[in-house]
């Protein structure tokens, strides 16, 4: 108890120095936690993928469409429970700054395959009945102030024109990490319009989503589907939803690695700063340590005091940094929701933050602790200043 009181008194002897060190550690831990969360969220789509869903796209590239006639042929493959389809629409609301993902889908089968998009029965029925109806995620609806019954106009980019929709439902995620920023509407509405305006783009979809009866047969079913369209004008590539999502993430692997490196560099930098602070503190107290040894304190007592002081300062910085992380994450989720639909700080990240803070304190205290432990009484008392 005496040593603990000693540690607290020493830690706050130079209040300004301690305050600046604590703030420095807090900012570093905040940056470390936010960067680690960003990396984790980049892989969120991969982690939340369903094992019972497959995605079929054009074997050349996702930007090339597939004929709508493939649907029934896929449905006949053994092990397939259900099939749906969708197309990336790429519409813009007012201007390019208002970005959100929007898709033309087959409503009933698509919603059946994605139970994580939760709609009330009344909203679901209204959406299914209205050819120009649309459903939108709760976050996007909140962002633009939309409510059920509102009319929304999207400017087409891939499919030129002004496209009018009526909001028939606002979906919520079944889980915290469900994307609530997407916009869905009837593929039939898109296709009927294309038949009149651009017939060559009609009767095509961007991808198929396949529900399988047994996830263990995913590889077998994928091969069977692709075999159906081998040597056709539009060959397919079928893969698990996880692999499909991972194909997008892998395009930015270098960026994610760079962000991870930066997160570690931040910790190394604050480790150097904390080490310099503790070294300065130990240098100023050499005479005090020597005096304590002359009064009967052992080297172990000195080491505990120095090491404990360093851990206390960095732990305070870690707690402050973790506390700052939550409002920062909320701000990111609110202001940058179109890029980060979910910005949730996981318990693993919190523990990693606190562990990083303690690691900084432990490493920073190594040299000062050794110095205090090994100082000789005569050498310490001889030192002036």
In a domain, 183, yes or no: yes
The torsion angles phi and psi of 276, rounded to 5 degrees, stand at -65, -40
What does the pLDDT read at residue 7?
73
What is the mean pLDDT of the segment spanning 32-39? 78
What per-residue confidence (pLDDT) applies to 15? 79
Average pLDDT rounded to a whole number, residues 251-259: 69
Distance CA 239, CA 133 (A): 31
Is the pLDDT at 160 greater than 60? The verdict is yes
Of the two residues 285 and 122, the one the predictor is more confident about is: 122
Rounded CA Rg of the chain: 30
The better pLDDT of the pair 330, 179 is held by: 179
What is the band of 1 on the pLDDT scale with cuts at 50, 70, 90?
A: low
CB 175 within 8 A of CB 118: no
pLDDT at 273: 78
Residue range 186-242, pLDDT digits in tens? 999 999 999 998 888 899 999 999 999 998 899 999 999 999 999 888 999 999 888
Whether the CB-CB separation of 32 and 267 falls below 8 Å is answered with: yes
Same domain, 69 and 202: yes
pLDDT of 340 above 90: no
Instruction: Please indicate, yes or no, if residue 51 is contained in any of the structural domains.
Output: no
Count the domains in the chain: 2
pLDDT at 47: 58
Q: Are residues 205 and 259 in the same domain?
A: no
3-state SS class at 185: strand
What confidence tier does 30 reach under pLDDT thresholds 50, 70, 90? confident
**31 and 98 together in one domain:** no
Q: Which domain holds residue 94?
A: 60-234
SS3 of 171, please?
strand
Mean pLDDT, residues 129-154: 93
Which residues neighbour 385 within 8 Å (Cβ) at sequence distance 6 or greater? Answer: none
Does one domain contain both 86 and 198?
A: yes
Out of 25-34, 196-205, 278-287, 336-345, least confident range: 336-345
State in Å, rounded, how far the first CA of the chain is from the last one: 30
**Whether residue 272 sits in one domain with residue 369:** yes
Q: Look at residue 45 in the predicted model and tell me its pLDDT.
A: 55
User: Of residues 340 and 203, which shows the higher confidence score?
Assistant: 203
Of residues 214 and 269, more confidently modeled: 214
Contact assessment for residue 32 and residue 356, using Cβ atoms and an 8 Å cutoff = yes
Tell me: do 225 and 270 sit in the same domain: no
User: Which of 234, 269, 297 delimits the end of a domain?
Assistant: 234
For 102-154, the DSSP string reads: EEEE-HHHHHHH-TTEE--HHHHHHHHH-TTEEEEEHHHHHHHT--TT-EEEE
Q: Which helix (H) or strand (E) holds 204?
A: strand 204-205
Residues 90 and 162 in one domain: yes
Task: Give the pLDDT score at 384.
Answer: 52
Q: Is residue 113 part of a domain?
A: yes
Tell me the C-alpha distance between 247 and 61, whole Å.
11
* Residues linked to residue 161 through DSSP beta bridges, in sequence order: 156
Residue 253 confidence (pLDDT): 63
**Average of per-residue pLDDT values in the chain:** 83
* Model confidence band, residue 88 (pLDDT cutoffs 50, 70, 90): very high
State both tokens at 188: 């039939």
Residue 246 lies in a domain: no
Q: Are residues 258 and 371 in the same domain?
A: yes
The answer to whether residue 96 sits within a structural domain is yes
Does 49 fall in a domain? no
Q: Which position has the token pair 């933050």?
A: 353
Q: Is the pLDDT of residue 302 over 80?
A: no
The answer to whether residues 79 and 206 belong to one domain is yes
Residue 279 lies in a domain: yes
- Structure tokens of 193? 């319009």
Q: What pLDDT was estimated at residue 33?
A: 82
Question: What is the residue-wise DSSP string for 24-93?
Answer: HHHHHHHHHHHHHHHHHHHTHHHHT--TTEEEEEESS-TTS-EETTHHHHHHTSTTEEEEEEEEE---BS
Name which of 357, 99, 50, 36 is nearest 218 in CA terms. 50
> Quick one: what percent of the chain has pLDDT higher than 90?
36
Domain boundary among 169, 202, 234: 234
Query: Do both 83 and 202 map to the same domain?
Result: yes
Residue where a domain stops, chosen among 234, 266, 286: 234
Average pLDDT on 339-348 reads 67
Question: Residue 226 has what pLDDT?
Answer: 94
According to DSSP, residue 284 is labeled H
CB 301 within 8 A of CB 292: yes
Q: 68 with 192, same domain?
A: yes
| Domain assignment present for 83 | yes
Give, in order, the Cα–Cα distances in Å from 243 to each of 20, 100, 141, 246. 46, 23, 30, 5
What are 102's strand-pairing partners? 183
Do 75 and 20 sit in the same domain of this protein? no
């Amino acid at each position: 108890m005496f040593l603990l009181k000693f540690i607290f008194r020493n830690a706050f002897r130079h209040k300004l120095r301690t305050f600046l060190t604590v703030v420095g550690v807090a900012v570093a831990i905040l940056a470390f936690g936010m960067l680690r969360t960003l990396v984790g969220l980049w892989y969120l789509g991969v982690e939340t993928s369903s094992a019972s869903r497959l995605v079929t796209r054009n074997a050349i590239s996702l930007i090339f469409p597939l004929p709508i006639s493939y649907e029934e042929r896929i449905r006949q493959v053994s092990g397939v429970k259900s099939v749906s389809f969708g197309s990336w629409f790429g519409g813009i609301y007012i201007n390019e700054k208002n970005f959100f993902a929007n898709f033309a889908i087959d409503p009933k089968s698509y919603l059946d395959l994605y139970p994580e998009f939760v709609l009330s029965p009344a909203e679901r029925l209204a959406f299914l009945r209205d050819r120009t109806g649309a459903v939108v995620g709760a976050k996007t609806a909140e962002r633009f102030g939309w409510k059920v019954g509102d009319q929304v106009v999207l400017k087409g980019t891939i499919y030129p024109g002004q496209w009018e929709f009526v909001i028939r439902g606002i979906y919520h995620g079944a889980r915290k990490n469900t994307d609530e920023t997407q916009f869905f509407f009837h593929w039939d509405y898109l296709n009927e319009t294309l038949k009149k305006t651009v017939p060559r783009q009609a009767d095509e979809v961007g991808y198929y989503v396949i529900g399988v009866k047994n996830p263990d047969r995913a590889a077998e079913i994928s091969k069977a589907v692709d075999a159906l369209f081998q040597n056709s004008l539009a060959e397919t590539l079928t893969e698990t939803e996880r692999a499909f999502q991972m194909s997008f993430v892998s395009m930015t692997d270098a960026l994610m690695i760079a962000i991870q490196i930066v997160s570690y560099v931040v910790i190394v930098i604050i480790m150097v700063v904390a080490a310099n602070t503790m070294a300065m503190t130990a240098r100023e107290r050499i005479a005090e340590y020597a005096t304590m040894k002359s009064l009967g304190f052992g080297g172990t007592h000195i080491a505990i005091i120095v090491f404990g002081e360093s851990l206390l300062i960095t732990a305070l910085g870690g707690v402050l940094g973790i506390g700052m992380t939550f409002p920062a994450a909320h701000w990111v989720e609110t202001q940058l929701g179109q890029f980060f639909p979910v910005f949730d700080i996981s318990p693993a990240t919190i523990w990693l933050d606190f562990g990083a803070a303690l690691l900084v304190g432990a490493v920073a205290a190594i040299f000062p602790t050794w110095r205090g432990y090994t100082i000789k009484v005569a050498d310490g008392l001889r030192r002036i200043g």
